[in-house]
Structure formats: C-alpha cells, structure tokens
Structure 1
Amino acid sequence: MPLDPALLAVLACPIDKGPLVYVETESVLYNPRLRRLYRIENELPILLPDHSVPVGEADHARLLRSGRSG
C-alpha cells in the first residue's frame, strides 16, 4: 500500500531534516544528500538514524530514477 501523499509531504530525514524520496516499489524512503535509506515496514516509515542503511553509487542512481520526491 502506498504512503499517503499528505504524510509524504511532511516526512523528513531525522539527520538533516531535509525531504526524502519515496520509492514505492521497494517500500523505502531515501535521502540522496546523505545517501541513507529508511525502510517502510507494515506501512510505517522507520525513521531512526541507527536503522538507516548507507547506499552505494549504483543504488543511489537507481533509487533516484525510480523514486518520487515528497
């Protein structure tokens, strides 16, 4: 199930407080500035810095192509 657009509009990265890119097909939110990935589990974004995942160059480009900004 996709995230509600109103929710997506107010979500921000807990580290730099900037907007996130939503990648619905992978159920993740992505911060391209810090290259950090946040998973969405059971329709709830896990926006905890300790649970974010670093992203390499190839995945960075793929996530930007397939995501949409909030």
Structure 2
Amino acid sequence: MSPDDPLLRILACPLDKGPLHLLAADESAAPATDEALYNPRLRRRYPIVDGIPQLLPSSGEQVTEDEHEDLLRRMVR
C-alpha cells in the first residue's frame, strides 16, 4: 500500500471509526516489521497482509508505550 493510495482516506479503525495512519515496512528493525495501519488514539496496530488491511477488531493488537513512541516516528505522512 502506498501513502498516496486513495483507499487510505476512507479506511477507518473498526473500534473508534477514526482515521488510520500507514506504517511503512521497517527493514532496519530486528526482526523486520511489515506494513501496518495504526490508530494512535487507541494505540492499536492492524496488519496489512498481501496488500490487504486486516481491519477486524480481533486482528488489531495493542502496543506498549515504547512501541507507540516508535510507531509515531514511523508513520508515513
């Protein structure tokens, strides 16, 4: 998924219905992290598998405070 994908403008968090932010794949992380969509308000990350966002509430994972700070730096603007 690219940052200019029109789909990003209409995707919403399944829990609070707010906007999601694209997280680019981080090749420098060990282990490397895949693309994901992130809701910084609820601190939930939703994976993108084979280009398809997994937006079921059960697909999202809660992130820790440290992960949250790292994800804020990785958000594609």
Scaled by the length of structure 1, the TM-score of the pair is: 0.88
Q: Which residue is 2:5 aligned to?
A: 5
Q: Higher RCO, 1 or 2 (CA under 8 Å, sep at least 6)?
A: 1
Work out which of the residue numbers 27, 31, 34 in structure 1 matches 2:39: 31
* Gapped regions of structure 2 (runs ≥ 5): 26-33
CA distance in 1, matches of 2:39, 2:22: 9
Letter in 1 for 2:45: L
Q: Which has the higher strand share?
A: 1
CA distance in 1, matches of 2:50, 2:3: 11
Q: Does 1:60 align with 2:68?
A: yes
CA distance in 1, matches of 2:73, 2:3: 18
The count of corresponding residues between Structure 1 and Structure 2 is 69
**The residue matched to 1:5 in structure 2 has which SS?**
coil
Letter in 2 for 1:61: E
Letter in 2 for 1:54: Q
Q: Which has the higher helix share?
A: 1
* Gapped regions of structure 1 (runs ≥ 5): none
Q: Give the deviation of 1:21 after TM superposition.
A: 1.2
Seq. identity, %: 48
Q: Give the deviation of 1:3 after TM superposition.
A: 5.8
Letter in 1 for 2:47: R
Once superposed, what is the RMSD of the aligned Cα atoms?
1.5
Scaled by the length of structure 2, the TM-score of the pair is: 0.81
Greater C-alpha Rg = 2
